[in-house]
Structure 1
C-alpha cells in the first residue's frame, strides 16, 4: 500500500507534532483522499527531511499529526543538475518537461529565452510550481526543484561561464559527439573535484538553437561541452528527458 506524501511549509512542524491549517490541503486530506485517524503518512519539510507521522485528528479546518520518525531523505542526486530549457510554444509542453525533470531529480529549471522562442515570459508559474511539487511527492524526493525567472540565452551563457566547479552541457542536434556514459564519467571526474559541483544542461526550443547561439557557445568552448543526444532529431521535450536521464539515472 502506497503511503501518501505531502510537502508542508516549515511553520507546520512543531517538535513532535505537525499541524495543518491550510484549507485546501485539509480539504484534500479529508474529502478527496478520505484519510482516517490513525492512518500513517509521510510529511516533508523541503529541507531534505521526512517525517513518518500518524493522524491524530482531522476536520475541514485542522489536521494534526504525531511524528513517529524523522529521517533524512536519501533520494536526491549526487550532483546539483540545472536545466536551462527554452520556453516552448505550448505551455503544456513546458509543464510536461517540468514534471519529468522533477521526477528525474533536477535541482532547478531556468526557462530560457532564445531567438526562436515565441515569448519572453512563462505564464501560470503557480500552476507549474504545483506540478513540480506533486511530482516531487510522487517520486519520493526530499526537495521541490526551484523554478527560476526566465533568462535570455546570452545572459545564461555568460552566467554559467563564470560559474566554477560546473560542467556545462550544450545539447545540439548537429554535433557528432554523443553524450555517453564513458565521456560523461570522464568529464565528471575532471570537473567535479570540489564541493557543490553542478551540471548545467541547455536544451533548445522547437526548431533548435540558432546559428548565432551555437556560435556563441563555440566561442567559449572551454566552458562548454557540446554534445549530441543521438542521430535522430528529438522534440524539445524528449531531448530534455533524454539528457537528464543520461546524467541523473
Structure 2
C-alpha cells in the first residue's frame, strides 16, 4: 500500500509531535479524509524521509507523531540545472513538474527574446511561488526528499552570467554532436527556449557564456517536449536511468 507523502516546511526529527501546516492539513483532512492512526511520510527537503502517524484530526488542525527517520537516496549522480524560457499556459507547469520527476536540481525561469509572457514584478513573484508549490507536489509524488528550487524570474543574460557548471548545453538541430557523444564529468546546465525557440540574441548570449549546441533528432519539438526529452536523454546516458 502506498503511503501518503507530505512536504512540510518545518524542522523534523524523530519523537517530535507537530501540527501540519494549513495546506497539508486540509489535504489530509478534507481531500484524503484520513483518520487517527493512519500512516504518512513527511519530508522538508533535508534529504531524509520521516515516517509518522496521525494523532488527531479536526476541522482546523491535524497533528502527527514522528517515529522514524529513514535514508532514501533518490537523487541522480548527475546534477542538472534547467534554464527554461517562460512559456504560456500550462506548458511551464508541465515542464517544471516533469523536470522534477526526471531529477533536475535547480530551475531558472528566464525571459528570452521570444518570450510571450509579460507580467509585473508582483505577478512574477506569485508565478514563482506557484511553480515552487508544483515542485513540492512533484516531490511528494515521485519520492524525492531533496526539493529543487525554482529561482526568481530574470532575463536570460543575467542568469547566464551566473552559470558556473562544467557542461553547458542548448539544443540546436544543426549541431555536430548528440547527447550520446558527450563525455560528462561534472554538473550540467541545460538551456531551453520558450514556444518560439531561442532568438539570435539568445543564442549569441549563450555562445558567449560557453554553451554548446547539441542535436536531438531531426524533428522540431515543442518547448515542454524538448526540455523533458533532453533531461531523459541526459539521465539515460549519463545519470541514474542507465
CA distance in 1, matches of 2:86, 2:226: 14
1:100 aligns with 2:103: no
Task: Describe the shift of the 1:158–1:126 C-alpha distance in structure 2 as closer, same or farther (beyond 3 A).
Answer: closer
1:169 aligns with 2:169: yes
Segments of 5+ residues of structure 2 without an aligned counterpart are 236-240
Which of residues 203, 207, 228 in structure 1 aligns to 2:196?
A: 207
For 1:74, the equivalent position in structure 2 comes to 73
Matches within 5 A, 1:217-232: 217-219=206-208, 223-232=210-219
Tell me which stretches of 4 or more aligned residues in structure 1 moved more than 3 Å: 119-123, 215-220
Task: Describe the shift of the 1:36–1:208 C-alpha distance in structure 2 as closer, same or farther (beyond 3 A).
Answer: same
RMSD of aligned residue pairs (Cα, Å): 2.0
For 1:238, the equivalent position in structure 2 comes to 225
For 2:6, the equivalent position in structure 1 comes to 6
- Report deviation, 1:243: 0.9
Segments of 5+ residues of structure 1 without an aligned counterpart are 193-197
Normalised TM-score (structure 2): 0.87
Q: SS of 1:124's equivalent?
A: helix
Aligned residues: 231
Task: Describe the shift of the 1:38–1:91 C-alpha distance in structure 2 as closer, same or farther (beyond 3 A).
Answer: same
1:84-133 deviation digits (Å, cap 9, x = unpaired): 00111x13110110111111111111112111112355463332222111
Greater mean deviation of Cα atoms: 23-32 or 142-151: 23-32
1:167-209 deviation digits (Å, cap 9, x = unpaired): 11122233242112xx23x2x23xx2xxxxx211000122221
Normalised TM-score (structure 1): 0.84
For 2:238, the equivalent position in structure 1 comes to none
Q: SS of 1:238's equivalent?
A: helix
